[in-house]
Amino acid sequence: MALLEVSGVTVRFGGNVALDDVEFAAEPGLVTGLIGPNGAGKTTLFNVITGLLPPSHGQVRLDGRSLTRLSPTKRARLGMARTFQRLELFSLLSVRENIWVAADVRKGWSHDRDDPATVVERIVEQVGLTAVADARVDSLPTGQCRLVELGRCLATKPKVLLLDEPASGQDENETVVFAELLRALAADGMAVVLVEHDVHLVMKVCAQVHVLDFGRIIASGTPSEIQHDEAVLSAYLGTNS
């Protein structure tokens, strides 16, 4: 059963249709991919799902509950977390402190009995940042900063994790490790939604892939199906000719 459901979502900016009747779902335990050319509407869709942008039409549901009228804060408390295409970190704080902020905030509203310090140390190790845990974020390369942002999301204990270009700035070896991390996060029961231009990574870790082009879903299927879809080859992946 789907944990996240997006149905009939349309977004208009004046006469421009940014999203046109978009529908997709993400299931717990799986990584779901969302790919497409620049300007296809992927980040706009994330903004709708997380409440930063109201849709002109359509619904977003989490675990069967409509979120469409809820604020981003309320959605986060119900179990939604995201990273951003443009990094959003506390640049003067350390890796550990960035993640601690999220863990401490969550403890404040959830009354979770877990010690934030314990939560933070577990996440720092989980995302592979132990060696730089005390380093200021603005001293780190982009690839590691992406992991800090992911760690901060994990500190909120999300049900749905939305990742916007999380592999940007990673080298080949880092991407291999990151793929295993995504699989592990999904295996813990999260629904992971991945927006990523690294098509190889998407095809490697995703169970289902949806392709956006000019604000519309033009194809949905398994990685194998997507790689052989003529519309996708023409619009995004390229052809063999």
* Domain ranges, ordered by start, for the chain: 1-79+159-168+187-241, 85-157
CATH 3.40.630.30 correct for 1-79+159-168+187-241: no
Angle formed by the axes of helices 142-154 and 116-126, to 10°?
Answer: 140
* Residues linked to residue 160 through DSSP beta bridges, in sequence order: 80, 191
Q: Which two tokens stand for residue 34?
A: 């969302």
**Phi-psi label, residue 214: left if phi above 0, alpha if psi -120 to 50, beta otherwise:** left
**Is the Cβ–Cβ distance between 181 and 194 less than 8 Å?**
no
Q: What is the pTM of this model?
A: 0.92
Helix (H) or strand (E) holding 106: helix 95-110
What DSSP designation does 235 have? I
Q: pLDDT-derived band of residue 132, with 50, 70 and 90 as boundaries? A: very high
Q: pLDDT-derived band of residue 108, with 50, 70 and 90 as boundaries? A: confident
Q: pLDDT-derived band of residue 44, with 50, 70 and 90 as boundaries? A: very high
Q: What is the pLDDT of residues 171-200, one digit of tens each?
A: 899 999 999 999 999 999 999 999 999 999
* Predicted local distance difference test score (pLDDT) of residue 241: 36
Whether 1 has a pLDDT exceeding 80, the answer reads no
